[in-house]
Structure 1
Amino acid sequence: MRPNRETGSKWRASAELSARATILVALAASTLLTSAAAGWASQPDPLRLCADPTNLPFSSDSPSQPGFYVEIGQALSQQIGRPVTYDWYKSYFGKRTVRVTLLGRQCDAMIGLPLSADFMGPAVIFSKKILTEAYVLVSRPTLTLSGIDDLRGKRVAVQYQTTPQNLLAERDDIEKVTVLTPEEGMAALAQDKADVAFVWGPVAGWLNKTAYEGRFRVQPVEGAGLSWDAAIGFARTSTQLRDQIDAALPQLERRIAELAAKYGLPSDPPVRFGAAPSPIRLAALGSPAQFLRQPAAATPVTRIADTSASDPKAEVVAAGKEIFNGTCAHCHGPDAVQAERRIDLRRLQTRYGEDMRDKYWTTVHEGRPSKGMPAWKEVFTDDQFESIYTFLQTVQSSETAN
């Protein structure tokens, strides 16, 4: 049946209305999309900062206790009008941390690098100084210390493999109590096993504020290898961001001082010391010292010196020992001597038996991130892993596993 004229008119009117509605919907959608795009375009890029998730007093991924550097980053982000995000990465990798995160473009800046052209320059450039960090003398408030001679006749808990240890090495009139961490130095002082602790300052100040409730005097020390200025590091191509940060820092001086006090960073006038015989280079980002742990008791162990000079494995063992002490000792102890059973590598044989080798290879290649053990497969070759394993075989304990 053919449609009459009236029906055709109604159909055309309906089609026109539908077309107009479609156009209006399209225009509305276009307007919304344009507005959203404009809104998105107006959002500033985040300021991406590198930080260690477990490195108080400097940084932590805990919102309730973020750390000195993290809170500086938050203040900077507000000052320059950019939201802040964090790329969490362990700082005990030292310069490798900087290469992977900052120079690998995972973040824009890293707070707390030593302000020195010798530190990875010219690949890394720096902001103005944000503060000075130093070793400290920790003592009871009644003890007055104004120089190294005031340590004569005293028991000094001195941190292993640091410039302070070098400085005191030639002083026979000072009784040295070697400790491997600031925590141990402070404990020796609290337990009356030492009169003074000569340890890394920021950690000592934090411990004095939190664990010891301000019981001790914490005096910074200045001198060659004993203190350095800290700054914010950037990749060398980030000069515009560096200049923007430099312009913002003067407005944050009061806030930075408040945060330093909040986290117990030492602020007393420094004690001047002379140069150490052979200053030790910076070993980590958080401190110029390798933070090792002091073994509580000796366990029967076969030492490297017991191996025969004609042993064909001697060179492999020596190479493995060198790599281990340069990379692994900050957690597992120098020469693998460690009192904490969970990370005592002298117990690998008793713990894993015939599976010792397989367990070792899996762990060093893949790591155990939940336990704080990083993966090393991209750092060392299999030959280097083999030399470390050969070394560890020589230090296995004879004790039985629990």
Structure 2
Amino acid sequence: MMGAGRHRRLLPALLAIAAMVVGYSAARAQTNESGDLSIELIDPKVLRVCADPRNLPFSNDKGEGFENKLAELFAEKLQKKLDYSYFPQATGFVRMTLGSHRCDVIMGFPQGDELAQGTNPYYRTAYALIAKQGSGLDDVTTLEDERLKGKHIGIVAGTPPGTNMAAAGLMANAKPYPLMIDTRIDSSAEAMISDLAKGEIDAGVLWGPMAGFYARKTNPPLHVTPLVKETTGPRLVYRIGMGVRPADQNWKRQLNRLIQENQGEINKILLDFGVPLLDENDRPIGPDTATKSP
């Protein structure tokens, strides 16, 4: 039997636990009845977004990226104020933002990544080959093409296309660019595009949204080919959704509804930034088919 002294010492803790359980149950009941997400969100009146302060075309602290524009769209639909928690998108990003309850959603999160819980995907895209118009490589559709043999091809080290390039025998002449960088001071994508424009490399392989964005900024524009026809190495096509905390089920459902109801507007924003959108059959989604879901 528990001694009286020990019981008295435990009583305050037991009362505190009971109060928390009662408060949590009442709040859950209120949430279920009203749809209020205050249990899951830092501030139910504010859309708090986890973002990189310098990582175009995705986001920056000036609100110029397509994830900024998507956040503005969602804040408008939710009738909430928009606020950000910025942290460089490198090791520790999820832990220091979403995981630390500094924000409630990562606007771009690959399906299958276990660091957070993903929503339904809102776009599908692929790594892409970028080359100069008229270079003889602008109609290459796969890394297995013989025309790439002996060419200097840029690749971000550690990204999936490296495996495909190795299988195709292209790594001996490849130029690697670092994967883990501080985006506040460096950009592997910009460095690769600059080298391609100067003729220091013959072509480059970049993640589709980066390839499309920077290819448009080059004068003349570069040609972008999504790599959807690879037969060796990993598939280079990915679905992208949003990331939330594993416990935030109501919030995830609300974001899924927003994605479904606003897919056309989402696609328009992505296309405006040059993101090469793909449907489930690897066919490009353009302005005339922008209402399609990934």
TM range (shorter): 0.5 to 0.7
CA-based RMSD of the aligned residues comes to: 2.7
- TM alignment of 1:138-177, pairs within 5 A: 138-142=130-134, 143-150=138-145, 151-153=147-149, 155-159=151-155, 160-172=157-169, 176-177=173-174
By percentage of residues, which structure has more helix?
Answer: 1
Is 1:49–1:87's contact at 8 Å kept on the other side of the alignment?
Answer: yes
Number of matched pairs: 221
Residue 220 to residue 62, structure 1, CA distance change in 2 (3 Å) = same
Q: Which residue of 2 aligns with 1:135?
A: 127
- TM alignment of 1:2-401, pairs within 5 A: 45-63=45-63, 65=64, 67-93=65-91, 96-116=92-112, 118-120=113-115, 124-142=116-134, 143-150=138-145, 151-153=147-149, 155-159=151-155, 160-172=157-169, 176-180=173-177, 181-210=188-217, 212-213=218-219, 215-222=221-228, 224=234, 226-267=236-277
Is 1:102–1:234's contact at 8 Å kept on the other side of the alignment?
Answer: yes
Percent identity at matched positions?
A: 22
Q: Secondary structure at the match of 2:190?
A: helix
Is 1:220–1:270's contact at 8 Å kept on the other side of the alignment?
Answer: no
Residue 108 to residue 73, structure 1, CA distance change in 2 (3 Å) = same
- What letter matches 1:72 in structure 2? L
Q: Deviation digits for residues 365-401 of structure 1, max 9, x if unmatched?
A: xxxxxxxxxxxxxxxxxxxxxxxxxxxxxxxxxxxxx
Structure showing greater Rg: 1
- What letter matches 1:119 in structure 2? E
- What letter matches 2:173 in structure 1? K
Is 2:143–2:164's contact at 8 Å kept on the other side of the alignment?
Answer: no
Residue 269 to residue 153, structure 1, CA distance change in 2 (3 Å) = farther
Runs of 4+ in 1 over 6 A off after TM superposition: 268-272
- Tell me how far apart the structure 2 counterparts of residues 129 and 241 of structure 1 sit (CA, whole Å): 15
TM-score normalised to structure 1 length: 0.50
Which structure 2 segments of 5+ residues have no match?
1-42, 178-187, 283-294
- Tell me how far apart the structure 1 counterparts of residues 68 and 52 of structure 2 sit (CA, whole Å): 9
- What letter matches 2:114 in structure 1? F
Is 1:80–1:244's contact at 8 Å kept on the other side of the alignment?
Answer: no
Q: Secondary structure at the match of 2:173?
A: strand
- Tell me how far apart the structure 1 counterparts of residues 278 and 247 of structure 2 sit (CA, whole Å): 37
- What letter matches 1:114 in structure 2? P
Residue 268 to residue 193, structure 1, CA distance change in 2 (3 Å) = farther
Q: Deviation digits for residues 116-169 of structure 1, max 9, x if unmatched?
A: 1x522xxx3221101124311012334311323324435142313322222222
Q: Deviation digits for residues 329-363 of structure 1, max 9, x if unmatched?
A: xxxxxxxxxxxxxxxxxxxxxxxxxxxxxxxxxxx
TM-score normalised to structure 2 length: 0.67
Q: CA deviation at 1:257?
A: 1.6
- Tell me how far apart the structure 2 counterparts of residues 202 and 146 of structure 1 sit (CA, whole Å): 17
Residue 209 to residue 250, structure 1, CA distance change in 2 (3 Å) = same
